Each structure stands twice: as C-alpha cells, then as structure tokens.
Structure 1
Amino acid sequence: MQNKKFIQVFEYQKLRYDDSEDFRKHHFDAMVKFNELHQNKYFTIIHQGIRFGSYVGVIQIGGLTIEVLPKADNNENTDKNLWQNVLLNMLKVCKKIQVESISETQLKKRYHSILDVYFELYLNEIERLIKKGLIKKYRKNQSNQNALKGKLLFSQNIQHNLVHKEHFYCEHQIYDKNHLLHQILYKGLLVLKTFVNDSLKDKLNRLLFEFQDIENINIQKKHFDKIIIDRKNNDYQKAIDIAKIIILNYSPSLNYGNEHLLTLLFDMNVLWEEYIFRILQKHKTDEIEVSFQNSDKFWENKHIRPDIVIKTKDETFVIDTKWKIIEANNPSDDDLKQMFVYNLHWKAEKTLLLYPKSNQKDSEYGTFHYDNLGKKCKLGFVDITNEQTIKNSRVLANEIFAKMYY
C-alpha cells in the first residue's frame, strides 16, 4: 500500500525539498513541469523549492498531497484547520463545490484535504446513480456479424471478409450503458484509483465493478462539450460536473516513476471577489441592486470592469475587492487611480476598496481633488472569521453594506 503524505502550507509560503522529508526532488520536478505547461502562473520556482503565490487549493503528486491555504493575518501560529474550513466555505458559497455537510459556521465533517471532499462527493453521486439505475442509450456499432444486421458497409466488408464470405461487416444500433456519460464517469473513477485514501478504496472498487463493461476512452474537454443535459439524464449533472474537475485537472503525462499529478487550484483574488458578491447578493434588501463584473467600453476596444456595483434609489457605490494585507490607510497609488476612474465612469459618489482584515481599522472617506466633484473613496477591512469559527454570512454582508454609508 502506498504511503500517503500530507503537507499544509499557506499562500506565499516556501517549500524546499531539502527541508522536508515528505517533499522530495521528484515531486519538485513534477511541479516545475506542470507550472511550465501553465505559463508559470501557479507558483514561483526558487532554489531547491517552490514559492506559492495567490493560488490556493490542492496539488496531489502520487502519494503526496500539498494543500495550499489562504491566509489573511500575520500570525505565525495561524490555525490551519480554520483556514481549511474558510476555503471550503468560500468554495461552497461560490458554487464550486456542493457539500451540504458544511455549514457557514463549521464543518460537521473533517476532511483530510479539499480533494477528499470532491472524491467523496463524486463516489456518493455515482453510487446514487447506480442505485437508481444507470440509463441506457442507443449508439452506433460497427462489427462483423454472422448475419446481416443493420446497414452493410461495403468497403469494410470487402476488407475484412474477402475470405470469409459467410460474415457481414455491418453498422447497427445497440441499446446499452456504454455511452459517453458513463465513459466520462468511468474515466473519473479510474483517475481516483491513484489518489483516493484508504477509507474510500473499498467504495471505489465496488463502483468500478459496476462499470466493467464500459469502454475506457481518452476523455478530453471536447467530450464534455458534447454532453447535453436533458430531462432523462438530469440526475447526472452533479456527477459530470465533478468528473470534469477531476479529469481535466489530471496530468498523467507528468509522471515520474509511478506517480501522477492532480491539481485543484483557485486564484484567491478571483475567489474573494465572487465570495463577497454572493453574500451581498444573498442578504441584500429589496431596495438594493447588486451586480457583478459589470463591463463597459473604456477606450477603443478596451473595457473597464469594477468588481461589484451597488445601486440604491438615490446612490451608486462601487466596491473593488483586494485579497492582500496592507497597512491601514495606505493604499497603493494604482488602486486609488483605479477607484477614481470607477467614480467617474460609473457616476458613483463613493467607492470602497475592500480588504481582508488584519488588525486594521476602516479609513474615513477621502475626497479626490478633481473639479470639486466631491468623489470619495475609503478603505474597508472585513474579518471573515470570528475567533475560531467562520463568520456568519449575514453578519458579514451587513458589515459591508454599513461601510458604504459610514
């Protein structure tokens, strides 16, 4: 049995193979190759190691799982379980994962890593489909038959049956379970064979037995594009969505020895932006309109796109989210210039730069000195945790709405 290793790090942390018994040179080599194939966007290569960036999530290389967690404080003794829960909750709110057992204040079930959540969800969904009964579909099949069945393919018949005149090479329809939906689910199960922990091995093997008659094909993005969800196969939607995540993030070409690489990485800047929008949208009142990623022409073919625009009967506000720790009341010049443009272009009297909180206090509204228009901007800081738990989303939303006015 392959020994499973687990490393948890925070974003922007360094990991060197000379400093770790679990992270070895061959793991480093696989990550370097993977990063190069993705324009070096996920992390930075340093001497004998990796420096993680703004991408969080999981990298699994054979028996080693590296979980990269977000961090919005300067505490060296930060609770990793808390920030794993924060990340899972953000993924749930942003609909990148559907885990009913995760509440907004705590995880009712503890997972080894975020990938384990996806793995268990996937196996549970397939088990549910099997119990309900896997659907059959018609598909075309070409093969040699002892009797004429369907349509005779003349050229292939001559090629295959020049000697055996008693055979017929035909194209005919078969009604069975060996179709694209099940081929995708089967491929996802085969990928999991390399990565699941021991607690899920038995369930995985039982499910693989149910798919023993399904063809193993090389599933790519184009295969998912062919899937059309309708009334008959609607139950497959969740399983197919998870299979897409697993299969398209699997890199079998990045193997060293018997090890393969599977990644599930999210840009925290993008995740933070969507998370704030979704909780504001969920808890807004009827008098407030919240819109996300508004885009408008700015110059020639270039567009301007603020993160969140909030409109009331009398006012327009723009919120720009920034997942980074800054000194209180000291935004960058680029951030202020960006907000000034939002003020003008979206005719907003006030704009808000929203950061995760790390012992800072909100600034007062500052006024831009331009034609006495009275355009204002402030810095706001929100803590998404409440001591050792995840802050309730309604409380968090109300805090953000209040920042726009005071």
Structure 2
Amino acid sequence: MGKEKKHFTVFEHQCLWDHKGNERLSTPQLEALQAFHGEKGVPFYSLIHKGVRFNEFVGVLQVGNLTIEVLPKADKTDDKAHWQKMLIGMLKAVGIFDIHAPSNSNLKLKANSILDLYFELFIQEVEYLMHRGLVKRYRKTEGNTTALKGSLQFAQHIQKNQVHQERFYVRHSIYDVQHPLHRILYKVIILLSRINTSAYLQSRIGALLLNFPEQEEIQVTETTFHKISFNRKTEPYQNAIEIARLLLMNYHPDVAKGKNHVLALMFDMNLLWEHFVIVTLRKYFRKEQSSFSVTAQTTKYFWKPQDGYRTKIIPDILIKFNSKNFAVLDTKWKNLNGYNPSAEDLRQLFVYHEYFQAQKVALVYPGNNLSKTSGLYLHPSHGAETDKECSVLTLSVGNSIKDWQTFIGKELEEWLMHTQERTLPKLLTPTVSK
C-alpha cells in the first residue's frame, strides 16, 4: 500500500491545532510533537492548548506521513509559493545546497517540497558517487577460508577446523567498498525508503537500494562524523556525508508506537538572515570592486573577572574600509512595523560604536518597504546630542533572490558612502541595569 501524504504549509509564528483551523493535526501527530518537545523543549515551536505555535525557525518537520513546512515572512503578503522560493534561494545563497553533481540546475523542485529537495540532493549526490565509482578501502577481516592467505590464527583454527581440515582460519586484508563512509550512506538510503512520501523519488530510492552495495548496520552519533577525515579520493563524499549527518542527526524515531517518527530540518531565521546579508555584501563588493570588505563575527573582549573567562562581544558584520573599522551592522529578522528598535538593540549598537571605533553602526531588518533612518545617541551627563549615530535600515523583500541581493548590496553601499537624513526621534541614553 502507498503512503498517504499530508502536507501543511505555515508561516513562522503561526499555530496548528487539533480542534480548529483549516489544517488540523491529528491527535497522534500532536502527541508526537508534544513528546518531541518534551520537558526541556525545542526551539522550533512552543506548546499551546491543543496545538503548537512555531517560532523564528523555518524549514520542515516530518511527523509520520505529515510534512509541516514552516516558511519565513517579512512582509504583509501571504504568498506561500513566493516565500518558499525565497527560503530555498536564501539557503542556496549561503551554501546549504552546494552539491558536487553537475546537474544541480536540473533539480526537479515540486510545489511544497523543501523536504523532497533535501532528499533529492542526497539521492543525486549518491548517484554521482556511484557514477564516478565507489571508493574502495583496505579492511581487516578474519574467518574460515579454503585457501591459506594472510596470517593463520592457530587457536581459532584448531578450535573450529578439527573436522574440516580443508579450511583455514586466517586474518587478512580485503580491498573492497565495505567501510564507514558507505555504511553511513547506506543507512540514509534505508531511512529514506521508510520515510519518503514522494512518488517521484520513490523509484530512485528503490534503484539505490538495488544497486548500492549492502553494508553492515552502523550506530551513528555526532562523534561518528567528527572522526571522519577526507583525502583526495574521498573528497567527493563530503556533501553526501554532510547531508547524511543532517538527516540522521535530526531524525527522532518514535520508539513508543513506531508510527509517528519526527524529522526536524529547521533553521534559525535570525542566523540565516545574518549569513544571507554577509554573503550578499561580499558578492556585491567583489563584483563592484569596492574598497569595502566584510568580516563576520569579529570578537572583542570587554570585561575580565578576577577569576574565570573574559566576556566578549561579537557583532554580526564588521565592514572595513582601507583595513580600518568603518561600520558595524547587526541583523535582526523581525518586522518593526513602524516602531523604533528595542532599547536593548540600541544599547548593543552603542557598545559596538565604542569598542570598534566605527564611524557608522546600523540595525538591519527585512520589511515591506525600503526605509533608512537614523538617530543620535545622547550624552550621559547633560543629554545633548553626540556625534554617535545609529541607523535603522529596513530592506524591502525582492521578487527574486537575485534581485533582492542586488538591491541589498546597492542600498547598503549607498548608506556606507553617504550620511542619511536623521529622521528618527532622539534615542534614549543607553543605560545599564543594576
């Protein structure tokens, strides 16, 4: 019997219930999400009465045969197809979907299929490896053979071959495709054969099961992947292994009932927005041969206790001009809706202004319309305006990733090169909680 596929698409911060709404969770599905959340919780969603509320994480959650696709949203539109396209574009831009296979442009992305895209990326990588020829390695093995090769293990030979004197119990090396890299890939192929609900991918998964050499079962943890080292021969395996790590480490089997397994492939939208702006600016400055350069996650220490570790500050983006600190950007994935930034965010930028000796600092948001405003920090003693300025940049969402990246690069370069009109109300003096 085929698997009945259900697919819900929601935006971040929206809810799903088991008793209301157009798309309803079944009781077992809600129970599976509640069990996955547990007492410690998960960052992807919060539990509410008879339902779940999604947080600022986007991607896919598969619960049994139900796939929940959580999309970002930074404007007033409810165009799910558009935001799915933008999410995939952002993930591709930051390198999440880098693959070796030459037919990347031929990925047959279907509607509502971010999870299917992950599966297809893995399948395509493994097909690519098989087309190249699977790498062989030497491995030690021992057992009975009909020919004397390697070293004879006398104790085991006498114990096992008193009757069968034509056999030899030996330890020797075999050069074949049975090794940990292939065991990991085979484990994912088996997993996909169980949880895939796409008819389009099912035949390709079946072909892999038929043609990929059967491997021994392997228990996989994060340590398994940390121990893997690649060389010249195995370098083409890196992407397939990375996708395998993503799938295996985020798969949570339902050990109680065995039906509602959970696969969570979710991304923190704040981090994705930060990396997207970074790669966008680097690409734009390189293309325009600009004198500006982008550095991510630059660390400075600003407090040292008598005992213990120093405390550090790490701005999202540091922009340099002629090797000197010029501007600090802090990205925030939220829609201000016409309001001022939070006092906490403004205090944070004040510290960056001081410690990095930057000429300009800014908070960078996505939004409905382009907006570039600024305000001055006030002197802590007499309250007069200082020359320290903090800008608030809202970058409207484009129709395509390419257009959006060009727009972001152009607008931020313009902000870097010109002082914007000061239209924000005067900002409060940063204060420190006692």
Q: What TM-score do the two structures reach when normalised by structure 1?
A: 0.90
Question: Structure 1 residues 188-197 or 27-36, which shifts more?
Answer: 27-36
Change (3 A) 1:161 1:293: same
Check whether the contact 2:32–2:260 (CA below 8 A) recurs between aligned residues.
no
Question: Residues 288-331 of structure 1: CA distance to partner in whole angstroms, max 9, x if unpaired?
Answer: 12100111112121110000011113761100001111143511
2:184 match: 184
1:220 match: 221
Question: Residues 88-147 of structure 1: CA distance to partner in whole angstroms, max 9, x if unpaired?
Answer: 1111111111379899xxx98444321111111111121122122212111111323345
Aligned-partner Cα distance in 2 for 1:91–1:389: 10
1:131 match: 131
Structure 1 counterpart of 2:350, from 340, 353, 358: 340
Report how far residue 210 of structure 1 moved.
1.5
| Counterpart secondary structure, 2:194 | helix
**Unmatched runs of 5 consecutive residues or more in structure 2:** 305-309, 421-434
Report how far residue 255 of structure 1 moved.
6.1
Q: Which amino acid aligns with 2:407?
A: V
Residues 6-405 of structure 1 correspond to what in structure 2 (within 5 A)? 6-19=7-20, 23-36=25-38, 39-75=41-77, 78-98=78-98, 109-153=109-153, 161=160, 164=163, 166=165, 168-196=168-196, 197-253=198-254, 256-284=257-285, 285-300=289-304, 301-313=310-322, 316-328=326-338, 330-359=340-369, 361-370=371-380, 374-386=387-399, 391-404=403-416, 405=418
Aligned-partner Cα distance in 2 for 1:92–1:65: 21
Aligned-partner Cα distance in 2 for 1:163–1:266: 61
Question: Structure 1 residues 352-361 or 164-173, which shifts more?
Answer: 164-173
Check whether the contact 1:6–1:65 (CA below 8 A) recurs between aligned residues.
yes
Question: Structure 1 residues 322-331 or 367-376, which shifts more?
Answer: 367-376
Aligned-partner Cα distance in 2 for 1:296–1:21: 48
- Give the aligned length: 399
Aligned-partner Cα distance in 2 for 1:334–1:164: 81
Change (3 A) 1:108 1:213: closer
| Counterpart secondary structure, 2:178 | coil
Aligned-partner Cα distance in 2 for 1:40–1:323: 19
| Counterpart secondary structure, 2:241 | helix
Change (3 A) 1:357 1:279: same
Question: Residues 32-70 of structure 1: CA distance to partner in whole angstroms, max 9, x if unpaired?
Answer: 222238643221101111000011100011211000000
Check whether the contact 1:368–1:376 (CA below 8 A) recurs between aligned residues.
no
Check whether the contact 1:58–1:113 (CA below 8 A) recurs between aligned residues.
no
| Counterpart secondary structure, 2:318 | strand
Aligned-partner Cα distance in 2 for 1:298–1:213: 55
Root mean square deviation, CA, Å: 2.6
| Counterpart secondary structure, 1:56 | strand
Change (3 A) 1:266 1:21: closer
Check whether the contact 2:61–2:264 (CA below 8 A) recurs between aligned residues.
yes
**Unmatched runs of 5 consecutive residues or more in structure 1:** none
Report how far residue 335 of structure 1 moved.
0.7
Report how far residue 171 of structure 1 moved.
2.3
Check whether the contact 1:34–1:254 (CA below 8 A) recurs between aligned residues.
no
Taking only the aligned residue pairs, the percentage that are identical comes to 38
Report how far residue 254 of structure 1 moved.
5.3
Change (3 A) 1:311 1:280: same
Aligned-partner Cα distance in 1 for 2:108–2:376: 44
Check whether the contact 1:384–1:390 (CA below 8 A) recurs between aligned residues.
no
